[in-house]
Amino acid sequence: MRKSIWSDSISISERPSLSGDIKTDVLIIGGGMCGILCAYFLNQRGIDCVLAEGNRIASGITKNTTAKITSQHGIIYADLIKQYGLEKAKLYLDANQKALLEYEKICRKIDCDFEKRNAYVYSLDNRAKIEDEVKAVNSLGFNATFLEETELPFKIDGAVCFENQAQFNPLKFISEISKNIKIFENTFVYKLAPNKAFTKNGTIKAKSIIVATHFPFLNKHGSYFLKLYQQRSYVSAYKNVPPINGMYLDENIRGLSFRSYKDITLIGGNNHRTGKKSTAWEPINDFAQKHYLSGERMFQWGNQDCMSLDNIPYIGHYSKNTPNLYVATGFNKWGMTSSMVAAMILTDMIEGRENDFAEVFSPQRSILKPQLFINGFESTVNLLTPIPKRCSHLGCALKWNKYEHTWDCPCHGSRFEENGRIIDNPAMKNIKKD
């Protein structure tokens, strides 16, 4: 079944589309986890806000997450310390731990299958890398532990454990917290002007605007087409397999991740840059056939993530020249925790409050990172590739994805159905059908 386990678990009530012109204090564009949380916190603080979603809320990236809430974002802390020093690395960790606590506080009041779980990053062949990460995390005042064995059905070289992290059902969560938010669905914002958004059937004037559209769609500010690229990953969900008590991730980009939801085990992985050749679900399903002979595949889906240049999301002012326009993007596969961090930072910024974490996540930090040149190379190659099927974003050559039957852009990650209808942004328009 080519849909996520979350989409099968709940149906979220529909909201009307915008008809006419309205005013509000804050407009949030994008109805995924980040946009919904921003609106939720603004409502809690008594600030008038409106959320505009081009499709249905939680119908994009959020519905395809593995829904882990954790400060453990792969093997990153040793690198963050090298790049930015102990203080900023600790602020990054503290921001994500605070996000975890905020989720826990909200989830006490609602039914969303919130569960505390330990999180693990393991390596099959690089014990030293794991040991270095444990030391790095401990140097930040967090108690990470080294393990030589796990409950997984294969041997490892080592794993780093973060205790008392969490997992949940993201669509149940959104269904509950969105009830009192003013939302317009099927309200596609196609153009922005200062303090104003344009849709097909009306305009929205706002003192502040938050762009929470996964990949920012406004190209003239912020240079996000240089600062971001997108990766695809895949998940298969199996029943009749031994339950997984923890949340697991291979430190290798091609490795596998694991978590359980009720009596079903989610196995994910096989990451690759969008538009590049891939074997999609094949290594995941091959693994399950080898290690879980009695397993029955119930769901199968893919997802897409915006990747920043330095493993830190971009949260704050869209650019230095847009004081009333804000952005949250580049969550690097950790959208659930990062969405909460973004909501905390952006609601403080809109209210004029100082936030201890804002500087770490500022989109205005230096972009001189090795990934910038890789992104530039990919864009140049695909702009010059003589293929007639072109992306409607910036004109890169599209690649056919035979597993998902889509046209994918290797430059910035836009995706289109076979008939040309847009699936994933930053593209704003469909492409022509042959």
| CATH number of the domain within which 199 lies | 3.50.50.60
- What is the count of structural domains for the chain? 2
- Residues 218 and 314 reside in one and the same domain: yes
The answer to the question of residue 299 being in a domain is no
Q: How far apart are CA 189 and CA 172, in angstroms?
A: 26
Say which residue the tokens 């994805």 belong to. Answer: 401
121's enclosing H/E stretch is: strand 115-123
| pLDDT digit string (tens) for the chain, length 434 residues | 578 999 988 889 999 999 999 999 999 999 999 999 999 999 999 999 999 999 999 999 999 999 999 999 999 999 999 999 999 999 999 999 999 999 999 999 999 999 999 999 999 999 999 999 999 999 999 999 999 999 999 999 999 999 999 999 999 999 999 999 999 999 999 999 999 999 999 999 999 999 999 999 999 999 999 999 999 999 999 999 999 999 999 999 999 999 999 999 999 999 999 999 999 999 999 999 999 999 999 999 999 999 999 999 999 999 999 999 999 999 999 999 999 999 999 999 999 999 999 999 999 999 999 999 999 999 999 999 998 899 999 999 999 999 999 999 999 999 999 999 999 999 999 998 76
Query: Ramachandran region of residue 61, left (φ > 0), alpha (ψ -120 to 50) or beta?
Result: alpha
- Residues 390 and 351 reside in one and the same domain: no
* Segment 305-360, tens digit of pLDDT: 999 999 999 999 999 999 999 999 999 999 999 999 999 999 999 999 999 999 99
Cα-Cα-Cα-Cα torsion 46, 49, 55, 58, nearest 10 degrees, comes to -30
Classify residue 327 as exposed, middle or buried by CB count within 10 Å of its CB (0-12, 13-18, 19+): buried
The answer to the question of residue 96 being in a domain is no
Strands (E), 30-73: 49-52, 68-69
Q: Which residues contact 226 (CB under 8 A, 6 or more apart)?
A: 367, 372, 375, 376
- Residues 210 and 314 reside in one and the same domain: yes
Q: Which of 326, 342, 361 is the last residue of a domain?
A: 361
The answer to the question of residue 406 being in a domain is yes
- Residues 375 and 403 reside in one and the same domain: yes
The answer to the question of residue 84 being in a domain is no
The answer to the question of residue 233 being in a domain is no
The answer to the question of residue 127 being in a domain is no
- Residues 347 and 375 reside in one and the same domain: no
- Residues 349 and 376 reside in one and the same domain: no
Residue span of the structural domain in which 189 resides: 13-65+172-223+310-361
- Residues 374 and 357 reside in one and the same domain: no
CATH number at residue 408: 2.102.10.10
The answer to the question of residue 255 being in a domain is no
Q: How far apart are CA 362 and CA 374, in angstroms?
A: 22
Q: How far apart are CA 382 and CA 410, in angstroms?
A: 7
The closest alpha carbon to 9, from 304, 331, 338, 263, belongs to 263
* Segment 169-214, tens digit of pLDDT: 999 999 999 999 999 999 999 999 999 999 999 999 999 999 999 9
Contact yes or no for 44/22 (Cβ under 8 A): no
- Residues 314 and 419 reside in one and the same domain: no
- Residues 420 and 314 reside in one and the same domain: no
Q: Which residues contact 338 (CB under 8 A, 6 or more apart)?
A: 34, 96, 99, 313, 315, 328, 331, 332
What is the per-residue burial (b if ≥16 Cβ within 10 Å, else e) of 157-191? bbbbbbeebbbbbbbbbbbbbbeebebbbbbbbee
- Residues 339 and 381 reside in one and the same domain: no
- Residues 376 and 394 reside in one and the same domain: yes
Strands 22-29 and 202-211: parallel
- Residues 324 and 346 reside in one and the same domain: yes
Q: How far apart are CA 166 and CA 259, in angstroms?
A: 11
